[in-house]
Amino acid sequence: MDLPATAIIAERLVKARPSQQTGGIKRHCRGKCGELCSPKGVVLSYARDNIAQRKELDKAMSTKPSKKNKSVGRRDFLKSAAVAGAGLIILPSGVLSGANAPSNKLNIAMIGTWGRGEAHFGALKSENVVALCDVNEDHLAFGAQHFPKAQKYVDWRKCLDQKGLDAVVCCTTDFTHAFVANWALNRGLHIYCEKPLANTVEEARVVRANYLKNKKKLATQVGTQRHEIENFNRVRELVQDGAIGELQAVFAWGDRKIPRPGYLPAQGEPPKTLHYDLWLGPVAADHPYNPGYFSGGPGANCLSWNMYWDFGSGQIGDMGSHTMDLAWNAIDAGLPTSAEGTGEKFNPDVTPVELTMKFEHPANDWRKAITVSWYQGGAMPNSPGGMIDLRRIGHGVMFKGSKGHLVADFDSRVLIPWGGGADMTYYKPRTKDKVIPAMGNFQQEWIKACKGNLKTSCDFDYSGKMIEQMLLGLVAYRVGEKIQYDGQAGKVTNNAKANDLLKREYRQGWTLNG
């Protein structure tokens, strides 16, 4: 679609492309998403950029560091300990056995060794994967082909007791993420957890609080790996440098639709290699086995269970984690003060396909109060004056300012100054030296952080608040009215039923913060 040149600065023209259908699921990215598609032979410019960055990172993080590198590592550590300034030096758990250990490798437990887990094999090859855990013994064997020396487990609680661990990579079902994350943090282990970090508001809060207690010792990362795409930085710069004037409202949306009628009925027996009881884990209701929960291909099986309330949060935790991240990265938001949610009729088994949520966020030190909205499953924000058809962008964000709009998908952006007064004099583009540098490979950022600086882009504070907001919106949808939220206390102040829905009961023997 052509955009009027006088009114639009297209930094990289969004060529809206018809979605390619794959078994009812729309392909929505070109190789970066890791969600469904990784079309072979398609090389993107940002991917090429990242190869150079990756090479540099790999070089810097060589598993066989030169003496020089090692001494720099020690010096850096001593420097940061000195800056910490406390008489008592608390060693980051990765330091003794990580960057400064003779082997310079992390001892990692990988939980969930098939499907999304496979996307981490490459990054983890440079480390010591010493423990593997999967409730499906066939999947465990699959992981063991890649890491034959690792101890094998079917129960992650036992796996986390293995001696000598430094870090955990968790690629299990959504409803176990906060459990594994808390248990890992409580055992002094760094953790990379696949998105979404939590399945209830309470889970998000407990895991964030645990991280904040440990942030001087442990590195965390939530698996929103698109965050490494440099477009995220460019979008943040445009918003913060005033390209649309004063920020007023933010909209994010996703068009994936996975309708389900209800929990699946009992069908057959679980295969002998699947520990179904452990798969259900903390879920209080005794859902019978049905092969339909296990019918998706590797990396896409989450779509077989994530629409059901007990197992996931639908598109909120699925594409919502990625797409809201693109907005969240630009707005420096904390927790919202209110939430609203409207959509299709409530189904007690299944999360809504069509849903609109709206949150109020207070002002911060660089912007006034704003609203943040989420649309999914066919619900969409209004296109800005018909200048661009947002429905042609499967997963995107729009920032509305006093002087115009910024529309973006994961790797492109379009700026639309609005009206005669939008003369761009208010836009103060940063100088080259202030441009936000590329973060490099997302998984490597966490590995590097475990070995020293503990800094990651999507730690459990940043990502924890984001998913808390989204899950709060689902609560507002369930009670059908605008709820007021005290983010400090984690309480809904005007609706007792909503307060009850912030948390859930678990099966006996499963402790969220164990």
CA distance 454 to 364: 26
182 part of the interface to ligand NAD, by CB under 6 A = no
Within 14-88, residue ranges assigned H as helices are: 45-60, 67-84
Residue choice 94, 98, 115, 242 for contact with ligand NAD (CB under 6 A): 115
Query: Which of these, 250, 230, 229, 244, lies nearest to 414 by C-alpha position?
Result: 244
| CA distances from residue 279 to 142, 173, 317, 440 in whole angstroms, order as listed | 18, 8, 19, 34
The distance of closest approach from Cβ of residue 118 to ligand NAD in the complex, given in angstroms and rounded to an integer, is 8
Interaction residues for ligand NAD, span 297-336 (CB under 6 A): 299-302
Residue choice 114, 211, 311, 375 for contact with ligand NAD (CB under 6 A): 114
Residue choice 156, 251, 328, 418 for contact with ligand NAD (CB under 6 A): 156
Query: Which of these, 328, 312, 405, lies nearest to 373 by C-alpha position?
Result: 328
Indicate the Cα dihedral angle 215, 218, 223, 227, nearest 10°: 60
The distance of closest approach from Cβ of residue 236 to ligand NAD in the complex, given in angstroms and rounded to an integer, is 21
Pick 100 or 304: Cβ nearer ligand NAD: 304
- Sequence-distant (≥ 6) Cβ neighbours of residue 180 within 8 angstroms: 111, 156, 160, 168, 170, 172, 191, 193
The distance of closest approach from Cβ of residue 433 to ligand NAD in the complex, given in angstroms and rounded to an integer, is 32
Binding mask 186-205 for ligand NAD (x = CB under 6 A): --------xx----------
438 part of the interface to ligand NAD, by CB under 6 A = no
Candidates 22-30, 54-62, 278-286, 333-341; binding stretch for ligand NAD (CB under 6 A): 278-286
CA distance 181 to 178: 5
Pick 35 or 255: Cβ nearer ligand NAD: 35
Residue choice 37, 144, 171, 479 for contact with ligand NAD (CB under 6 A): 171
223 part of the interface to ligand NAD, by CB under 6 A = yes
Candidates 42-50, 82-90, 114-122, 424-432; binding stretch for ligand NAD (CB under 6 A): 114-122
Binding mask 348-387 for ligand NAD (x = CB under 6 A): ----------------------------------------
The string of DSSP letters for 7-19 reads T-EEEE-----PP
| CA distances from residue 237 to 18, 29, 240, 280, 499 in whole angstroms, order as listed | 29, 23, 5, 43, 37
111 part of the interface to ligand NAD, by CB under 6 A = yes
Residue choice 28, 105, 139, 465 for contact with ligand NAD (CB under 6 A): 139
Query: Which of these, 155, 157, 322, lies nearest to 229 by C-alpha position?
Result: 322
Binding residues with ligand NAD: total (CB under 6 A): 32
CA distance 314 to 503: 17
Give the start-end residues of each E strand in 420-499: 483-486, 491-492
Pick 410 or 427: Cβ nearer ligand NAD: 410
Q: Which two tokens stand for residue 191?
A: 């953790």
Pick 395 or 465: Cβ nearer ligand NAD: 395
Give the start-end residues of each E strand in 112-173: 128-133, 151-153, 167-170
Interacting residues with ligand NAD (CB under 6 A): 33-35, 111-117, 133-136, 139, 156, 171-174, 176, 194-195, 223, 225, 278-279, 281, 299-302
